[in-house]
Amino acid sequence: MIEFACLWAFLLLPLPYLLHRLLPPALAAEEAALWVPTLQPFADNRHQRSQRRWPWWLLLPMLLCWLLLVTATAQPQWLGEPMELPVSGRDLVLAVDLSGSMQTKDFVLEGETVDRLTALKRVAIEFIRRRQGDRLGLILFADQAYVQTPLTFDRKTVELLLNEAVLGLAGEKTAIGDAIGLAVKRLQGGQTAQRILILLTDGANTAGQVSPLKAAQLAAEQGLKIYTIGIGADEMTVGSFMFKRQVNPSVDLDEKSLNGIAEQTGGRYFRARDTAELENIYVMLDQLEPVEKDQEVFRPVTALYPWPLGAALLGALLLGLVDQGRQRWGWR
C-alpha cells in the first residue's frame, strides 16, 4: 500500500490560486527595462498592468506540474508486506567438545553405528533450527577453546559451521574450563537478561588454564546459566569375531564436575547415553528455555517521491520550452 509521510503538504494545493487572488498584479514597467533618452512617450503607459497571460491550453499542464510537486513534498512511500523480525529472547552459546574421544562409535543413528560427534551434530542442528528469536553462538574446544561463530540471529550460519566441525581441529585433549571462560568473556556485557551456555563433552578436563569449577564460579557471578551434557554410552562390545568383551566407553566422563558446574550456575546436568536420550535432552531444554513468542513486525518502506518530483521538473522544463517558442514564433 501507499501512504504519505507528510500528508499536510496537500494543504499547499490552493497556494497558486491564493497568490493570484491576494497579491497585486505585476506592473508592465516592472517586467522589463529599456534605455531611452526620455520617458515622455511612455508617460501614459507607465502604470499599465501587464496583459501577458498564459494560453488556456497550458493551464492544465501547469496545474499537473504543481500537483506532482506537492505530491513529492508529501513524501509518498510504498509499504511492503509485513515481516517478522527475530526477537532477542536470550543469548545462547553451544560449546562442543572436539577431543579425540568424540570419535568413539557408541551411538546408533538410523540403524547405523556412528561416532559421538556425528550424533551430536544431527540432534544439535535440529535444536538450532528451533531457536528462532535467540542469538546463537558456537564454541569448539579440545586442547584449546575458540569461537567458531559469534553471537548471531543467523541460525543457518551456526548450523553450517557446526556441521563443518571435524575431530582433531583443536587438538586431542579437553579444556572444559577454558571453554566456559571463553563463553563468559563472549557473553559478558550483553543486552539480554538471559544468557545460556550448553556444554557438551564426553570426558574430563585434561587441558587448559582454568579449572571447570573456577570458570563456573565466574559464570555464576556474571549471571550465565550453564546446562551440561555428558555424552557416551555406558557399555559397548569390542574385540574380534572370536573374542568379545563389554567395556565402558565413558569411563573418563567426569559427571561430578559437570553436575557441579550446572548446579553452581543454576542450570542442570543431563546424561546422553544414546541418540534418543540426546534428542530428549534438547526437547527438555526447549521446555526449560522456551523460545520467545512475541515477534516484532517490520514493513519495508520504499520512498516514491523521486518519481513525482522528476515528473514535475520535466514538466516545468517542457513548459519553459513552450513559453520560449510562443514568444519567438507567436504561438497562441
Q: Are 41 and 99 part of one and the same domain?
A: no
Q: Answer yes or no: are the C-beta atoms of 93 and 138 closer than 8 Å.
A: yes
Instruction: Give the model's pLDDT for residue 245.
Output: 65
Q: In 120-158, which positions are buried (b, 16+ CB within 10 angstroms) versus exposed (e)? A: bbbbbeebbeebebbbbbbbbbbbbbeebbebebebeeb
Q: Are 32 and 158 part of one and the same domain?
A: no
**193 DSSP assignment:** S
Percent of the chain with pLDDT over 70: 80
Instruction: Give the model's pLDDT for residue 29.
Output: 46
Q: Are 14 and 48 part of one and the same domain?
A: yes
Q: Has residue 24 been placed in a domain?
A: yes
pLDDT in tens, 152-201: 888 999 999 999 888 877 778 889 999 999 999 888 866 666 889 999 99
Q: Are 319 and 256 part of one and the same domain?
A: no
In this prediction, residue 254 has a pLDDT band, given cuts at 50, 70 and 90, of confident
- CA quadruple 132, 135, 138, 139: dihedral, nearest 10: -150
More confident residue, 166 or 244: 166
Q: Has residue 104 been placed in a domain?
A: yes
Q: Are 58 and 121 part of one and the same domain?
A: no
User: Looking at residues 289-310, what average pLDDT do you find?
Assistant: 77
Cell of 25: 498584479
Instruction: Give the model's pLDDT for residue 39.
Output: 57
Answer whether residue 43 shows pLDDT above 60. Answer: no
- CA quadruple 154, 157, 163, 169: dihedral, nearest 10: -120
Instruction: Give the model's pLDDT for residue 258.
Output: 92
Instruction: Give the model's pLDDT for residue 89.
Output: 63
Instruction: Give the model's pLDDT for residue 291.
Output: 61
Q: Has residue 234 been placed in a domain?
A: yes
Q: Are 60 and 117 part of one and the same domain?
A: no
Q: Has residue 293 been placed in a domain?
A: no
The boundaries of the domain holding residue 152 are 85-288
Q: Has residue 186 been placed in a domain?
A: yes
Answer whether residue 278 shows pLDDT above 60. Answer: yes
pLDDT in tens, 44-54: 554 444 445 66
In this prediction, residue 237 has a pLDDT band, given cuts at 50, 70 and 90, of low
Q: Has residue 122 been placed in a domain?
A: yes
pTM of the model: 0.62
In this prediction, residue 294 has a pLDDT band, given cuts at 50, 70 and 90, of low
CATH code of residue 189:
3.40.50.410
Q: Are 196 and 267 part of one and the same domain?
A: yes
Q: How many domains does the chain have?
A: 2
Please, what is the end-to-end C-alpha distance for the chain in angstroms?
A: 43
Q: Are 6 and 64 part of one and the same domain?
A: yes
pLDDT in tens, 54-108: 667 778 888 899 999 999 999 999 888 877 665 556 788 999 999 888 888 888 8
Query: 107-109 and 112-114 as β-strands: parallel, antiparallel, unpaired?
Result: antiparallel
Q: Has residue 266 been placed in a domain?
A: yes
**31 DSSP assignment:** H
3-state DSSP percent of the chain in helix, strand and coil, to 5: 40, 20, 35
Helix, strand, or coil here: 302?
strand
Residue-averaged pLDDT of the chain: 82
Q: Are 71 and 110 part of one and the same domain?
A: no
In this prediction, residue 300 has a pLDDT band, given cuts at 50, 70 and 90, of confident
For CA atoms 213, 218, 223, 224, give the dihedral sign.
Answer: negative
Query: 107-109 and 91-97 as β-strands: parallel, antiparallel, unpaired?
Result: unpaired
Answer whether residue 293 shows pLDDT above 90. Answer: no
Q: Has residue 10 been placed in a domain?
A: yes
Q: Are 272 and 175 part of one and the same domain?
A: yes
Q: Are 21 and 119 part of one and the same domain?
A: no
Cα 153–Cα 154–Cα 157 angle in degrees, nearest 5: 145
Q: Are 145 and 244 part of one and the same domain?
A: yes
Q: How far apart are CA 279 and CA 110, in angstroms?
A: 13
